[in-house]
Structure 1
């Protein structure tokens, strides 16, 4: 190993990991070159030969990469969890999501719902809609945001869009 560590990580963990990188570099004298992608792309790119020394991605993807020999068995260490959030347009009417029923009501009454469709959170969200029995009713309102772009907030902030009313 040289003086540089190649980190390949999921976009979702980037804000939490960047301060750790700076501390690590200061403590060790090593440098870290980082690349950030959506979780599924991390796995796909590694399988295509993307160079890395350290990968940070979802546990199920680490298991897959371990099973196919891309990740050293036994080297996995869980270190955190990422939550999902719900937001509404600034200045819009407040909504409740403090119970499953209130969350379902908010989804049913939304004019549109923007969500990051390509990443793990998008899969979780659409699976949640299925588990709640709302998929068919809510599907026409969904606005999929591709490739992890930070556009959901932009879409719902435009006057013609409103996440929850």
Structure 2
């Protein structure tokens, strides 16, 4: 049975109180990519309330040369303790010496999906041929400039044999979410990590890519080289914990850890103790 968001939050807070012990009140500087953002924004307030640590957050794409992407910001020398991004992007930062080797912690698995504006037709993309025809029939297509979009433009469109036919109507989106472009009516269909599409209430989520075409991406945390602090390690441990997994599951991601079970209701006739 899925936990409600409130039960998940309570479970997380219980775990934090056990983890925290005395309050530390350290600053932790984090930069995270969009795929983990919905879960992250629910988890951080719980962590801060229980530990008194202060989490200072920035956002950027997992890869690419946009000025606000995670690789670009690290290359400029911006200071962070923890990075959270697609696993391929994290491994590249490790190879460049920007993220400490051996510090990778997988937090969640993500799938690529498609959305359209509410009130517009929802094409069937549940099969390979259905997705192919959807791409050919669409008047305009947008996709992320980060990990999911790199896979679509470099691999998937070629595998489907549509790369040449759609090249003039398919556009990579930099420095904003695909959902925002769709919500403005600037494109007909859009692709991104499911967890990045679901928060847009102006959109209808059509579904994930067919299983045989799906790219399964891990969102992983790593500690910036030279910044491996106890506070950063403590925060990453929480994000990867079973209590955090209870919330991660509600945001369109598949948690790596097994979520905590829902709290048992009080026995009949017993007053709840507060």
- TM-score, with length taken from structure 1: 0.85
Q: Does 1:124 align with 2:151?
A: yes
Q: Any idea what SS the aligned residue of 1:56 has?
A: strand
1:33 pairs with 39, 56, 71, which one? 56
- Partner in structure 2 of residue 142 of structure 1: 170
Give the structure with the higher percent strand: 2
Cα deviation 1:125-163 (Å, max 9, x = unaligned): 2121122111001112214333224532135x36xx544
- Partner in structure 2 of residue 100 of structure 1: 128
- Partner in structure 1 of residue 27 of structure 2: 4
Range moving further from structure 2, 68-77 or 98-107: 68-77
CA distance in 2, matches of 1:59, 1:162: 29
Cα deviation 1:76-119 (Å, max 9, x = unaligned): 10111222221223322332111001111111111111223x22
CA contact (8 A) 2:60 2:70 kept: yes
Q: Any idea what SS the aligned residue of 2:172 has?
A: strand
Q: Does 1:44 align with 2:72?
A: yes
CA distance in 1, matches of 2:75, 2:189: 37
- How far residue 2 of structure 1 moved from its aligned partner, in angstroms, is 7.2
CA distance in 2, matches of 1:2, 1:49: 25
Q: Which runs of 5+ in 1 are unaligned?
A: none
- Partner in structure 2 of residue 153 of structure 1: 182
CA contact (8 A) 1:7 1:34 kept: yes
CA distance in 2, matches of 1:93, 1:9: 33
- Partner in structure 1 of residue 21 of structure 2: none
Instruction: For CA contacts below 8 A with separation 6 or more, give which structure has more relative contact order.
Output: 2
CA contact (8 A) 2:25 2:54 kept: no
Cα deviation 1:29-63 (Å, max 9, x = unaligned): 11100000111210221122110111101212222
Give the structure with the higher percent helix: 1
**Closer/same/farther in 2, CA of residues 76 and 162 from structure 1, 3 Å limit:** closer
CA distance in 2, matches of 1:145, 1:65: 22
Q: Which runs of 5+ in 2 are unaligned?
A: 1-23, 64-68, 191-274
CA contact (8 A) 1:9 1:34 kept: yes
CA RMSD after TM alignment = 2.2
CA contact (8 A) 1:3 1:31 kept: yes
- TM-score, with length taken from structure 2: 0.53
Q: Any idea what SS the aligned residue of 1:61 has?
A: helix
2:41 pairs with 4, 8, 18, which one? 18
